[in-house]
């Protein structure tokens, strides 16, 4: 008879087995491709100050503050406009005292100028479509409001100083982080390498989903589903195999998987039948019965030094096992937060076997939110893979509960 443990004990044992995954290597990604959702491995410092150079915050006139200080309503100060500075390559000439240059947002503020008068505080109103009017006869500006030194001037480093941290280690990269990296001229970022997982389906009855099953054969749902689950949890599928119920072939496959990947995940061959090939092939790992339904038969241990989790082969059991035992570990190893459970209220009473934690498939009744109602979909059968597709969550029925009434509060695991 195999060892019996509860769900929390098995979760703890899996976490201990996989603790080594927390120490991830790093890799570089381009900000242009595949960067979203990746997790920064270390702080990113600004290689330059931002802004890099003193520039104008407004469309207006760069002047010396002292020259326009007296300006006020009814007492304009008029200055000659001696030039035009656009946001464009090049360095403007220094500004002579008592003069102004027309300047555009983002353009470098000339040496000698220490403030910018916005166009709306002058007699120009708007520049739109008015190119080069600084060279025309009208090359003067009336300023109607005085300015302090520094107004509407963006100083170098006022956004971020050179060498200061602009993106923190652990950041889950989103578009606004890409913006900051690009603004600093950084096109490659160092992120945590995803955990590489081998997904190994066992069972002589399995046919690839694009194959043609004969009598007694079924399409392999676990391989594609767990590969997708690994990716959804931020992992990488390092190898996918489907192997028949032959312990030697399984052993060879698993040793290859162990050599290539950080974790090996198997499905099938862990139950009480006569042909439990994973049990036969891996005498060195622990097989046990976890007090849960579905997903009771579980294995864990190491093959050739690499952690192995052996999930049952029923497709619902395999998916529930992934959610309960591996999903958050993969996410956290990659730097992602765990998936938060959502408390919910049962839409109808449920019954449950005593002493087994049951994970029913549930769907939201109305909008998903903490405290929302959740209804059971499909039956408890662990082969109901199509029914499971209609589920939004797993409903967590405690081991001690044999019935839960309508309106009972339950924990859920989002799918």
Q: What residues from 140 to 179 belong to the interface with its own copies (CB under 8 A)? A: 154, 158-160, 166-168, 171, 174-179
CA count, 13 A, side-chain hemisphere, 76 = 12
Per CB under 8 A, the list member of 185, 338, 343, 355 interacting with its own copies is 185
Per CB under 8 A, the list member of 182, 304, 349, 400 interacting with its own copies is 182
CA distances from 12 to 9, 306, 391 (A): 5, 18, 27
Nearest to its own copies of 102, 147 (CB atom): 102
Check residue 81 for interaction with its own copies (CB under 8 A): no
Mark residues 230-269: x for contact with its own copies by CB under 8 A, - for none: -xx------------x------------------------
Q: How many residues bind its own copies (CB under 8 A)?
A: 108
Per CB under 8 A, the list member of 1, 75, 136, 137 interacting with its own copies is 1
Cross-strand partners of 51: none
How far apart are CB 405 and its own copies at their closest, in Å? 27
Per CB under 8 A, the list member of 389, 400, 403, 406 interacting with its own copies is 389
Check residue 210 for interaction with its own copies (CB under 8 A): yes
How far apart are CB 90 and its own copies at their closest, in Å? 5
Q: Which of residues 286-345 bind its own copies (CB under 8 A)?
A: 313-315, 319, 322
Check residue 377 for interaction with its own copies (CB under 8 A): no
Per CB under 8 A, the list member of 10, 41, 59, 294 interacting with its own copies is 59
Tokens (6 digits) for 12: 């703890």
Q: Are 199 and 239 in contact (CB under 8 A)?
A: yes
For residue 264, which phi and psi values (nearest 5 degrees)?
Answer: -115, 135
Q: Which pairs with CB-CB distance under 8 Å and at least 24 residues apart come from 92-97?
A: 95/62, 95/63, 95/64, 97/64, 97/67
How far apart are CB 279 and its own copies at their closest, in Å? 7
Contacts of 151 (CB under 8 A, 6+ apart): 65, 115, 116
For residue 68, which phi and psi values (nearest 5 degrees)?
Answer: -110, 0
Cross-strand partners of 37: none
Q: Which of residues 87-116 bind its own copies (CB under 8 A)?
A: 87-92, 102, 104-108
Residues, the chain: 415
Nearest to its own copies of 23, 132 (CB atom): 132
**283, 285, 287, 288: CA torsion to nearest 10:** 150
């Amino acid at each position: 008879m195999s060892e019996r443990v509860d769900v929390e004990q098995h979760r703890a044992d899996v976490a201990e087995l996989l603790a080594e995954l927390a120490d991830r290597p790093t890799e570089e990604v381009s900000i242009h491709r595949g960067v979203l959702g990746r997790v920064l491995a270390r702080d990113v410092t600004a290689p330059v100050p931002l802004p890099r150079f003193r520039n104008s915050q407004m469309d207006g006139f760069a002047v010396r503050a002292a020259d326009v200080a007296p300006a006020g309503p009814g007492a304009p100060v008029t200055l000659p406009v001696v030039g035009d500075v656009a946001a464009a390559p090049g360095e403007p000439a220094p500004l002579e005292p008592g003069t102004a240059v027309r300047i555009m947002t983002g353009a470098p503020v000339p040496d000698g100028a220490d403030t910018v008068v916005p166009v709306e505080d002058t007699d120009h109103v708007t520049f739109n479509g008015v190119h080069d009017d600084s060279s025309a006869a009208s090359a003067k500006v009336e300023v109607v409001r005085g300015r302090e030194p520094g107004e509407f001037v963006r100083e170098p480093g006022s956004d971020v100083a050179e060498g200061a941290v602009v993106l923190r280690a652990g950041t889950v990269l989103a578009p606004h982080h890409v913006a900051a990296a690009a603004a600093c001229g950084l096109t490659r970022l160092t992120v945590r390498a995803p955990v590489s997982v081998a997904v190994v389906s066992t069972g002589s009855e399995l046919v690839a989903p694009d194959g043609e099953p004969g009598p007694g054969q079924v399409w392999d749902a676990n391989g594609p589903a767990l590969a997708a689950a690994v990716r959804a949890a931020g992992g990488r599928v390092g190898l996918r195999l489907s192997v028949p119920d032959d312990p030697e072939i399984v052993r060879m496959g698993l040793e290859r998987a162990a050599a290539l990947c950080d974790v090996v995940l198997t499905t099938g061959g862990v139950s009480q039948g006569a042909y439990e090939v994973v049990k036969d092939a891996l005498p060195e790992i622990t097989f046990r019965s976890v007090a849960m339904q579905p997903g009771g038969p579980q294995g864990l241990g190491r093959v050739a030094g690499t952690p192995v989790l052996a999930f049952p082969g029923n497709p619902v059991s395999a998916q529930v096992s992934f959610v309960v035992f591996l999903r958050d570990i993969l996410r956290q190893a990659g730097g992602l937060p765990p998936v938060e459970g959502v408390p919910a209220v049962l839409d109808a009473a449920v019954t449950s076997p005593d002493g087994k934690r049951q994970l029913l498939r549930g769907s939201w009744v109305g909008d998903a939110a903490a405290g929302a109602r959740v209804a059971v979909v499909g039956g408890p059968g662990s082969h109901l893979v199509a029914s499971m597709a209609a589920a939004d969550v797993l409903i967590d029925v405690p081991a001690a509960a044999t019935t839960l009434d309508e309106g009972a509060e339950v924990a859920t695991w989002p799918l």
